[in-house]
Amino acid sequence: MAFQRRIFSGIQPTGNLHLGNYLGAVRNWVALQAEYECIFCMVDMHAITASLLDPDELRRSTRELAAAMIASGIDPEKNILFNQSQNPDHATLAWIFNCVARMGWMNRMTQFKEKAGKDRENVSLGLFAYPALMAADILVYKATHVPVGEDQKQHLELTRDIAQKFNFDYQKEIFPLTEPQIFGTATRVMSLRDGMKKMSKSDPSDQSRINMTDTADQIADKIKRAKTDPDALPDSIDGLEGRPEAANLMGIYAALAGQTLEQAVADCAGRGFAEFKKLLTEVAVSHLAPITAEMRRLTADPGYVDGILRKGGERARELSAPVVAEIYDTVGFLRP
Ligand code: AMP
Ligand code: TRP
């Protein structure tokens, strides 16, 4: 059976939307919306898996994230933009997937291991089940393609495993085997303080990331203080090997300037970091300032953003309702 091409992606409203989210995910979504039917979801139910959040803060983050996506160029009329909890079908399918996924599969999830750390006995059951909810987010719309950053690859493999096992167990081709779409020059943006660590919302140091809400001065300051090495920039990509900070900053520069890494390296060959950092600041500020300004304008009017999310939620439920009916019949649940 051929499945209609449909794109789904999600992002957590946990504050601090940063350049990694933008370059690794949101910017690619903007490129995809021209061609395909897209569903973009603020996954507020995932956001409470690490710990319960202050309710006002979660509402604020959800609205801010929606504003950031619209400001980055996501068209909420053309696409469906909503927060996950507005469509309870995600949770319904997640429960069924909890009964499909095996403990062994979930135990292998590196993101869980990283987030749980040494405190495995004390993390929430929701954190462990997180990837099953993610599979439900995608498959409740039978989405065929999921654009994400590289860190989500393993979760998408699990999504395929769940789809495959469900299809096999019920001997029906209900779910597609979803493909990850990992593309762009910055699929893994690293911390400004440590080129071996991913730029992350949860890094305690704000200096480690460029936030989408940062002012031009903050961006300049963070880039100025970003970790580097003492050498000048190389004249080939090979010369970036073993220089994680240089590679990261060059990757960011290329992505923001709209160049390939080869072009960017050629342009900057032989420059010292002081000079390069000025160039990087210029492209970062000129790219991000209009987005930040638009975000501020949108967040000043929460009613507008709430209206978009509500309408998106309705459209999302219309798409998932027939899938859930099909799942009820397949599993043997009596329909309401
Ligand atoms: P999260 O912030 O974990 O909800 O991630 C939202 C999206 O941003 C996902 O598609 C991630 O793969 C992507 N992402 C998060 N951090 C980075 C990063 N440092 N570099 C590139 N992509 C990222
Ligand atoms: N786990 C993803 C992240 O942290 C967010 C997410 C939740 C997601 N559900 C999804 C991404 C469905 C893509 C598709 O980045």
Residue by residue, what is the 3-state secondary structure of 168-232?
HHCCCCCCCCCEEECCCCCCCCECCCCCCCECCCCCCCHHHCCECCCCHHHHHHHHHCCCCCCCC
Amino acid 114 reads: E
pTM of the model as a whole? 0.93
The Å distance, Cα 293 to ligand 1 centre, comes to 22
Residue extents of the structural domains in the chain: 6-182+301-331, 206-297
pLDDT, tens only, 17-55: 899 999 988 999 999 998 898 999 999 999 999 999 999
Nearest ligand to the CA atom of 139: 2
Nearest residue by C-alpha to atom 15 in ligand 1: 21
Identify whether 153 is a catalytic site residue.
Answer: no
40 lines ligand 2 (CB under 6 A): no
Among 333, 3, 322, CA closest to 140: 322
The Å distance, Cα 333 to ligand 1 centre, comes to 36
Ligand 1 pocket, Cβ-based, cut-off 6 angstroms: 11-12, 20-21, 24-25, 148-149, 151-152, 187-189, 198-199, 201
6-182+301-331 in CATH: which number? 3.40.50.620
Q: Is 49 helix (H, G, I), strand (E, B) or coil?
A: coil
Which two tokens mark 83?
Answer: 């927060």
137 lines ligand 2 (CB under 6 A): yes
pLDDT, tens only, 275-284: 999 999 999 9
Please give the chain's pLDDT, 336 residues, in tens.
689 999 999 999 988 789 999 998 899 999 999 889 899 999 999 999 999 999 999 999 999 999 999 999 999 999 999 999 999 999 999 999 999 999 999 999 999 999 999 989 999 999 999 999 999 999 999 999 999 988 999 999 999 999 999 999 999 999 999 999 998 778 899 999 999 999 998 899 999 999 999 999 999 999 999 999 999 999 999 999 999 999 999 999 999 999 999 999 999 999 999 999 999 999 999 999 999 999 999 999 989 999 999 999 999 999 999 999 999 999 999 999
83 lines ligand 2 (CB under 6 A): no
Cα 56–chain centre separation: 22
d(CA 52, CA 97): 23
Identify whether 198 is a catalytic site residue.
Answer: yes
Sign of CA pseudo-dihedral 77, 83, 85, 90: positive
pLDDT at 192: 98
11 has which bridge partners?
Answer: 42
- CATH T-level topology, domain 206-297: Tyrosyl-Transfer RNA Synthetase (1.10.240)
Q: Could you write out the DSSP letters of every residue in 228-260? A: --SSPPPSSGGGGTT-HHHHHHHHHHHHHHT--
Catalytic position from the list 115, 153, 197, 311: 115
